[in-house]
Amino acid sequence: MSEWWSYSLADFLLFSPRVYYRLFETLNTTWWLAVTAALVAGIITFGLSIRHGNRGNRVALVLLAMIWGWVTAGFLWYYYQPINWIIPYFIPAFITEALLMVMFAARRMPLRFGWRGDFSSIAGGVMIAMAIFVYPFVGLIEGRELIQAELFGSAADPTAIGTLGFILLARGSWRWVLLPVPLVWCVLASGTLWVMDQNIAMLPLTAVWLTVLGGWMDQKNGVTRRSLLDTGGDD
């Protein structure tokens, strides 16, 4: 691409906010049952992930994997791909993320969810709560209709933010393998929303910074390296 310096982010965004938010309206109304089920699955996963001990780990991972599969097939593939040229490059990454979660669920204790009470746990919990309970309704402040709410479990942005929270709640080095896809997606989401002049653009980027900070503190405190066997029995 010649004269690349003359291009701005806006030159790569080929759809309008009107069309973008219609995606969620159509998704929510057409697939309301699946959208509701995915949201409930997210809430259950949140509950399982903050419980003490290891019980429910596998269920949480499987539910998260199903959510990522649904976001890929339902939202990215059918709705978002036709209007955004970059999505086909992300679909394999989203599928890989879901498969990694399934693999981790099948293995014996590659990572463990659980509340530790440290910075990462708090940040992770806040990010998940925000993704599930707050993010969908931020649009109301900006004048959008409730039917256009971006719901965790079906819309990519809150799902990626919440997944970063789940990763922070987990222990074990393998959790970092799950990090790149939601992290990169959040950066892309922030850029997209920023170009569309949406105030919500700061939320995905805030999630990225919290994740990086939490990960750094976990490394510093040795949380990541601590034996997963410390926390008790398998589920």
Partner 1 sequence: MFLLGRRNFLRGATAIGATAGLGAIKPLWAQTLDNRAVLDVIKKPIPSTGEMIPAVGLGSWITFNVGNDPVLRDQCANVMQAFFDGGGRMIDSSPMYGSSQDVIGYGLDKLGARDRVFSTDKVWTSDDGAEQIAETSNYWNIEKFDLLQVHNLVGINDNLPLLFDMKDEGRLRYVGVTTSHGRRTDDLIAVMKNTPLDFVQVTYNPVDRKIEDYLLPLASERGIGVIVNRPFQGGHLIDRLEGEKLPDFAAEIEVRSWAQLILKYLISHPAVTCPIPATTQPMHAMENMQAATGPMPDDDMRQRIAAVIGVL
Structure tokens at 31: 């697939």
82 binds partner 1 (CB under 8 A): yes
31 binds partner 1 (CB under 8 A): no
Inter-helix orientation angle 202-221/156-169, to 10°: 10
Q: What are phi and psi of 97, to 5 degrees?
A: -60, -45
14 binds partner 1 (CB under 8 A): yes
* Residue of 9, 16, 199, 229 that binds partner 1 (CB under 8 A): 16
**Which is nearest to 67 in space by CA: 79, 80, 76, 54?**
76
Residue span 187-216 as binding mask against partner 1, x where in contact by CB under 8 A, dash where not: ------------------------------
227 binds partner 1 (CB under 8 A): no
Structure tokens at 166: 């789940």
Amino acid at 153: G
Work out how close the CB of 175 gets to partner 1 at its nearest, in angstroms, rounded to a whole number.
34
* Residue of 43, 44, 73, 83 that binds partner 1 (CB under 8 A): 83
Contacts of 71 (CB under 8 A, 6+ apart): 38, 94, 153, 154, 155, 156, 159
Which residues contribute to the site for partner 1 (CB under 8 A)? 2-3, 6, 11, 14-16, 18-19, 22-23, 26, 78-80, 82-85
